[in-house]
């Protein structure tokens, strides 16, 4: 679970609601179902017009990436690669076949299987890098629907405000209806601007950051497996891969 995402949403929305109450307002005054329907319905309707269905579905699926935190331990990955390198150095590359079932990461498992199958290191690298590029492009396109929502929501909020003012103008002869119309107008603007800047745009950026992190983790696997397939010394492989780690996490940190 990515607690920063949850805490950030709670702090942002909580601060607004508490601030509203401290100024003497009531939470119920900014809870307007018509305004919510206008802003959210209009925003997501525009997203459906802009994007094909696979991109929309991918974008919603990536929402879990912003809330959860499925990161891999890169240091553990490096350790596994070095262990495989030691094994292949002693017993040959075919000895890696018995270790494939123990690998939890499908991408890592696929790379080791390619080595066992006798795939040339350059071809294996091309296959795995293509998969990483495809995954990153697909995920980035999915994240863009949240960016698009962040762009549309304020505009749809203004549209909701205009609709509320039209309702007000239609009921000038009935003062009892003016308050509700004006409230809907202002609340629609709040929903549009608030949803864009407190939810949609931050979610898009969080997804992009995590997708880049996933690509980095997969690049560690690629570099390590290519070096392994080329028969490089396990110690050299470890040194090469630990360049991806913060300095304090490297096994040779104390020597540096």
Looking at residue 54, its pLDDT comes to 92
CA distance 83 to 239: 14
Looking at residue 249, its pLDDT comes to 62
Q: Which residue has the higher pLDDT, 125 or 73?
A: 125
* Residue (of 230, 235, 10, 256) closest to 122 by Cα position: 230
Q: Taking the domains of the chain in order of start, what are their residue ranges? A: 1-31, 33-256
Distance (Å) of CA 17 to CA 77, 154, 187, 201:
44, 19, 13, 20
DSSP 8-state secondary structure symbol assigned to residue 196: I
Under the banding of pLDDT at 50, 70 and 90, the label for residue 177 is low
What are phi and psi for residue 170, nearest 5 degrees?
-75, -15
Looking at residue 219, its pLDDT comes to 92
With a pLDDT cut of 70, the percent of the chain lying above it is 93
DSSP SS3 for 70:
coil
The lowest-confidence range among 10-14, 78-82, 92-96, 169-173 is 169-173
With a pLDDT cut of 90, the percent of the chain lying above it is 49
Looking at residue 251, its pLDDT comes to 64
Digit-coded pLDDT (tens) for 129-159: 999 999 999 999 999 999 999 999 999 999 9
Count CA atoms closer than 13 A to 52's CA, side-chain side.
4
Under the banding of pLDDT at 50, 70 and 90, the label for residue 253 is very low
């Amino acid at each position: 679970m990515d607690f920063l995402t949850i805490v950030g949403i709670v702090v942002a929305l909580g601060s607004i609601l508490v601030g509203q109450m401290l100024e003497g307002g009531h939470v119920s005054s900014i809870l307007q179902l018509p305004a919510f329907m206008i802003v959210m319905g209009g925003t997501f309707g525009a997203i459906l017009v802009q994007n094909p269905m696979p991109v929309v579905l991918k974008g919603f699926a990536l929402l879990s990436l912003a809330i959860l935190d499925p990161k891999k331990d890169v240091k553990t990955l490096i350790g596994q690669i070095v262990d495989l390198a030691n094994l292949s150095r002693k017993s040959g590359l075919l000895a890696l076949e018995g270790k494939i079932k123990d690998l939890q990461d499908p991408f890592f498992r696929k790379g080791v299987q390619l080595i066992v199958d006798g795939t040339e290191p350059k071809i294996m690298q091309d296959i795995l890098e293509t998969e990483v590029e495809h995954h990153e492009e697909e995920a980035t396109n999915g994240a863009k629907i949240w960016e698009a929502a962040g762009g549309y929501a304020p505009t749809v909020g203004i549209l909701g405000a205009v609709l509320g003012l039209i309702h007000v103008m239609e009921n000038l002869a009935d003062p009892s209806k003016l308050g509700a119309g004006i409230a809907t107008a202002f609340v629609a603007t709040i929903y549009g601007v608030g949803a864009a800047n407190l939810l949609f745009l931050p979610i898009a950026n969080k997804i992009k950051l995590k997708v880049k992190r996933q690509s980095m983790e997969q690049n560690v696997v690629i570099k390590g497996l290519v070096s392994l397939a080329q028969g490089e010394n396990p110690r050299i492989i470890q040194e090469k891969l630990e360049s991806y780690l913060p300095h304090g996490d490297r096994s040779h940190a104390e020597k540096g």
